Structure 1
Amino acid sequence: MKIGEVAKMTGLSIKSIRYYHDIGLVQAERGANGYREYTHGQLASLQFVQHCRELGFSIEECKDLLQLKHNPKRCASDVKRLASEHLKALEQRMASLAALHHELSELVAQCHGGDSPDCPIIDGLSGKSACHH
């Protein structure tokens, strides 16, 4: 399969597929014409990587997961450890985002809008305590 077909089948951009090839994540063979030719196995690997990326795994984590996927002697505990570490990092980011959401919600609630230059949002972003006007 040529790269354009693979892009349509995986939902990846051609640029991403080329990047994954260049970094050695999923490499295609070059045909006599110089074009990359992807096998069904490489297509499956790209679909796997795409799903991992959708779940927020880094490129390096995708590489590790892909190696584990192709290793018939892998230990499920290695896969679980990697996924659990990613889940913990995701939960920490979610907690951080929740705190940011709360802070910004407070600032927005304190601002009455209107034509006045007084703005608790600007004050809050400036590190000043926001007060009701």
Structure 2
Amino acid sequence: MNIGEVAQTSGLPAKTIRYYEDIGLIAPLRSGNGYRQFRERDLHKLRFLGRARSLGFGIEECRTLLALYEDDTRASADVKAIARDHMARIEKKIAELQAMHATLSHLVEECAGDARPDCPILADLAAEVQ
């Protein structure tokens, strides 16, 4: 398969596929004229990486997960630890987003939204952080 075919089949942009090659996540064959030749296993890795990235795993986590996936002697505990750490970061981000939402909701409720110049939203944004 060429890069266009593997991009369409994997659902990843060609630019992303080239990037994954540049950083060593995949290593397609090269034909005599230098064109990339993707094998089924390259496609499988790209789908794996696409799914892992869609779940928010970072590049280095994907690299580790891919190595674990390819290691028949892996311990599932290693995979679970990576997933748990990632979940903890997601939960922290959710808490931060909920706090931001609560603050903005309060400020929007306090703002009259009329022709007057006073605005609690702007006042809060201008307040010095202590």
Deviation at 1:108, TM superposition (A): 1.1
- Per-residue CA deviations over 1:22-71 (Å, capped at 9, x if unaligned) read 00011211111211111111101000000000000000000000000111
RMSD: 1.0
Task: Give the TM-score, by structure 1 length.
Answer: 0.93
**CA distance in structure 2 between the partners assigned to 1:8 and 1:42 by the alignment:** 13
Task: Give the TM-score, by structure 2 length.
Answer: 0.95
**CA distance in structure 2 between the partners assigned to 1:11 and 1:71 by the alignment:** 25
> Aligned to 2:115, what secondary structure does the other structure show?
coil
- 2:47 maps to 47
Paired residues for 1:18-37 under 5 Å? 18-37=18-37
Paired residues for 1:68-79 under 5 Å? 68-79=68-79
Gap runs ≥5 in structure 2: none
Identity among equivalent pairs (%): 46
List 4+ stretches of structure 1 deviating above 3 A. Answer: none
> Aligned to 2:103, what secondary structure does the other structure show?
helix
- Per-residue CA deviations over 1:94-130 (Å, capped at 9, x if unaligned) read 11111111111111111111211111110111127xx
Question: Which of structures 1 and 2 has the larger relative contact order (alpha carbons within 8 angstroms, sep 6+)?
Answer: 2
Query: How many residues are paired up?
Result: 128
Q: Which amino acid aligns with 2:55?
A: L
Gap runs ≥5 in structure 1: 129-133
Q: Which amino acid aligns with 1:8?
A: Q
**CA distance in structure 1 between the partners assigned to 2:118 and 2:5 by the alignment:** 56
Q: Which amino acid aligns with 2:44?
A: A
> Aligned to 2:6, what secondary structure does the other structure show?
helix
> Aligned to 1:104, what secondary structure does the other structure show?
helix
- Structure 2 residue 96 is matched with structure 1 residue 96: yes
**CA distance in structure 1 between the partners assigned to 2:127 and 2:13 by the alignment:** 42
